[in-house]
Chains A and B, each alone.
Chain A
């Protein structure tokens, strides 16, 4: 197992290198560069000389291979460089936003788990009853309603009926739990609901499948309490695919809540991503792609380990 873990960790390096090379090239292929965009975007009369000077300042006058080597060399030393747009270190810009994004991802996952596991299990146990239908309607609605739309509706309701809006600036949970939750609970609910819809349907079908297994019949034949049959034997096994889905969704939430972050004006990684792309902030986009790729790979790795822990039949070599 240890060998497997080390192997998986080492495999991350070439994967991330491939991602780095790909994103570096793709960004250079996109039309428009940061300096031209900055001046043209504000309609400023900037002579060619000023534009060239600014490009040189950002290192964009160097050959592409040199830019790539400099960047990769920096990453090897854990120096992600500076944002071409703000001039501040990338690690600083990302760190400011990462706390919010991680917290929101955790909260949304909690919301999703708290909704999906009980509802999905209940729906499976009460298959084809009104309860099952109600849960299915609830989960299909969750799939159909985009979380940003739900967010917009929430904001409109708050403003029209309560003349209130969640705080627009982030306060860390450590500083003020109340202010923190006031801001993040709403997007967490909006995102968590959609997220729970996927997980509810997955839980329902997994539990249904497991309940038909021989070992469940055996457990029941042994005279075990239904509660024990369900929690210890059925649910534990049924949760394997649910955990895989939850893991993938969690990784997505860290950097993918672009529109929801915009709707609630959250200063998170998703918003930073979009701004960096529209500003052609090459170094920032490259670093964010690397970060989100790392999160995806690492969460997948963790999911595999958790699956092995939950199911003794799974053994990695």
Chain B
């Protein structure tokens, strides 16, 4: 029976209500709700901080408990990611006509937790330590600032960065959540002081740290935003393993875990919390790729590598794997949905990204035949001994390759031997990963540069075309021009040479107690962790 207008009326009314009235009421409701001051936010962290120095460390386990103590020069606006706004710098900055001089004004009245003023001298000392670290000081992201010639502080509230060449990613790099602003006087006395101590200007003052157990902070009464932070205190509990971390959120001993959980854990948490559960989701700037050892036969033949990528049905992988793991989005070298991502209409033209998998596999078999291995061959896929999402992805990929006649042995390894084998070239193919704090080609493409240039490239190939394209895009500030080069880069890596290729991009799922308000999920688990906008709702 065809539905009549009369019978459809309740549906139409419901749809109209859902479309207009409900969102409006939610919006007005949200506007009407005033953040509440006070309370303690307890959250779980899936690791422990090595040292306390953001410039040196690379793990979120350092960032989540430490970020609330510090300010950065710029920051990503969590409400409008990836918009960049000032943190200790004012929201407006100037760039010289030649694009080589960046001038920032520092906000007045910002104080460190010892009540001393934060000035341009501190910003300069901080960036000098990151970009030009003194002897014996480790700086993990020094390479990202290779374009910086000098940093000057002409007056207490002005900082000037002089670049050697134009850089499209420079501003975004200054919003790095790792670049805590340190106190110049302390750095002058001991540049490694911050590895074991905390002295920042962020919304929370350091409280207590019990290694391996927890970290606490309390409200900074002198924070430069007079109405922030809302919370009195926070407590980060270190829980390395997933099961007890999920249990902690389910029991309410932790209200949130900011990095995120997989769908199964999400379901458990939502089932236990019921109406008290809120789930925030976002595409994640993390992905898994297949890296191929281009030095080994028959992988030194681009036709073989291309056959490997053609065999993988990513669109079906997205449907199947997203139900049981974090793996979700089909994408090229940039996060799907980001400003640099290749539109789907173009993406499907790249090898392995087409939607007609039978046609792709037919082409793959033909390529194997042309490469002299018509009956397929056997090889080993090395993978990290991490169940989620590595193991499931490895299993899926192997099954895809089996369908073009390849016999693959799955070897799961502990991190030490795994990275050692990748670095030494002791592998055929491997599942590799990447996670970044922002969508930025200068970051995401580093992995694909020639092995002699990039320690992240385990593919053991050198390709001057790629290196040249990288350098060119990095200097372009015209978005359209830059995108054109990025597409060429992507086509060469994923399609023509198929040195490394993406399986899927991740989905970030953060289920938490509804009383946690003011925090918004972003595509990176590294940003928006200073907790200054977070408050606890009264139930």
The answer to whether A54 has its CB under 8 Å from any CB of chain B is: yes
Task: Collect the chain B residues with CB atoms within 8 Å of residue A32's CB.
Answer: 415-420
Size category of the A interface is 35 or more
Residue of A nearest to B384 (CB): A41
- Taken together as a complex, chains A and B put the C-alpha atoms of A74 and B3 apart, in Å, by 85
Rounded to whole Å, the gap between the CB of B152 and the closest CB of chain A is 25
Residue B272 at the chain A interface, CB threshold 8 Å: yes
* A159 contacts B251, C-beta separation under 8 Å: yes
A222 on the B face (CB < 8 A): no
Contacts of B469 in A (CB 8 A): none
Q: Is the CB of A280 within 8 A of B456?
A: no
B43 to nearest A CB, angstroms? Answer: 12
Contact A164 B419 (CB under 8 A): no
Chain B residues with CB below 8 A from A48, complex form: 455
Q: Which of A13-21, A246-254, A258-266 contacts B (4 or more CB under 8 A)?
A: A258-266
A223 contacts the other chain (CB 8 A): no
One digit per residue, 1 when the CB lies within 8 angstroms of any chain A CB and 0 when it does not, for chain B 446-477 equals 11000000111000000000000000000000
User: Roughly how many angstroms separate A68 CA and B212 CA in the complex, as a whole number?
Assistant: 27
- The reply to whether A163 and B272 contact each other, CB–CB distance below 8 Å, is yes
In the complex, are the beta carbons of A87 and B253 less than 8 A apart? Answer: no
- Give Cα A265 to B214, complex, Å: 11
> Using an 8 Å CB-CB cutoff, how does the interface string of A42-72 with B read, 1 for contact, 0 for none?
1111111011011011000000000000000
What residue in chain B is nearest A31 (Cβ atoms)? B420
B423 within 8 A of A: yes
Decide: B243 and A263 in contact? CB cutoff 8 A.
yes
Inter-chain contact A267/B210, CB cutoff 8 Å:
yes
- Whether B212 and A42, one on each chain, are in contact in the complex, defined by CB atoms closer than 8 angstroms, is no
Given contacts A262-B241, A264-B244, contact A54 B138 (CB under 8 A): yes
Complex CA gap A160/B196 in Å reads 40
Contact B253 A159 (CB under 8 A): no
A169 at the interface (CB under 8 A from B): yes
| Residue pair A265, B239 in contact (C-beta under 8 Å) | yes
Give the complex CA separation of A272 and B213 in angstroms. Answer: 11
Q: A50 near B435 (CB under 8 angstroms)? A: no
Instruction: State A36–B419 Cα separation when bound (angstroms).
Output: 8
A residues less than 8 Å from B247 (CB atoms): 155, 159, 165
Complex partner residue of B142 from A47, A155, A160, A169, CB under 8 angstroms: A47
Q: A265 to B238, alpha carbons, bound, how many Å?
A: 8
Contact-residue bracket for chain B: 35 or more
Residues of chain A within 8 A (CB-CB) of B443 are: 45
The closest CB in chain B to the CB of A36 belongs to: B419
B143 touches A40 (CB 8 A): no
Closest to B42 in A: A168
Binary flags per residue of A145-156, CB closer than 8 Å to B gives 1, else 0: 000000010010
Known: A43-B434, A265-B248. A168 touches B237 (CB 8 A): yes
Contact indicator B50/A86 (Cβ below 8 Å) = yes
Least CB distance from A218 to B in Å reads: 56
* CA of A253 to CA of B419, assembled, Å: 32
Known: A31-B417, A50-B139, A163-B252. A43 touches B211 (CB 8 A): no
B residues near A280, Cβ cutoff 8 Å: 416
Given A86-B51, A275-B240, also A41-B415 (CB < 8 A): yes
Residues 114-167 of A at the B interface (beta carbon under 8 Å): 152, 155, 158-160, 163-165, 167
B419 touches A168 (CB 8 A): no
Q: Considering the complex, which residues of chain B in the window 407-445 have a beta carbon less than 8 Å from any beta carbon of chain A?
A: 414-423, 433-436, 443
B237 contacts A169, C-beta separation under 8 Å: yes
Instruction: List the B side residues contacting A275 at CB < 8 Å.
Output: 48, 212, 240
Which residues of B in the span 151-209 have a Cβ within 8 Å of any Cβ on A?
195-196
Expressed in whole angstroms, the minimum distance between the Cβ of B419 and any Cβ of chain A is 4
A281 to chain B, nearest CB (A): 9
By a CB distance below 8 angstroms, the chain A residues around B421 are 31
Any A CB within 8 A of the CB of B320:
no
CB distance from B513 to the nearest CB of A (A): 12
Whether, in the assembled complex, B517 has its beta carbon less than 8 Å from a beta carbon of chain A, the answer is: no
Min CB gap B519→A, angstroms: 21
Task: Tell me if B420 and A43 are in contact (CB < 8 A).
Answer: no
A97 within 8 A of B: yes
Q: Is A301's beta carbon under 8 Å from chain B?
A: no
Q: Is B304 part of the binding interface, using a Cβ–Cβ cutoff of 8 Å?
A: no
Question: A42 to B63, alpha carbons, bound, how many Å?
Answer: 13
Which B residues from 120 to 160 make CB contacts under 8 A with A?
A: 133, 136-144
> Are B212 and A272 touching (Cβ within 8 A)?
yes
Inter-chain contact B196/A88, CB cutoff 8 Å = yes
Q: Are A278 and B414 in contact (CB under 8 A)?
A: yes
Contact partners of B243 in chain A: CB under 8 A: 152, 155, 263
Known: A51-B455, A163-B272, A271-B240. A169 touches B213 (CB 8 A): yes
Q: List 11 A-B contacts (CB under 8 A).
A: A36-B423, A39-B58, A45-B447, A53-B133, A86-B49, A87-B51, A93-B211, A96-B212, A163-B272, A262-B241, A271-B240
Which residues of B does A touch, CB under 8 Å? Answer: 48-51, 58-59, 133, 136-144, 195-196, 210-214, 237-241, 243-244, 247-248, 250-254, 272, 414-423, 433-436, 443, 446-447, 454-456
Beyond the given A86-B48, A265-B239, A267-B212, please list 19 additional residue pairs across the A-B interface where CB-CB is below 8 A.
Answer: A36-B420, A36-B423, A40-B423, A44-B140, A48-B455, A53-B133, A53-B138, A54-B138, A87-B195, A158-B251, A165-B253, A168-B254, A169-B214, A170-B213, A262-B244, A275-B48, A275-B212, A278-B416, A280-B416
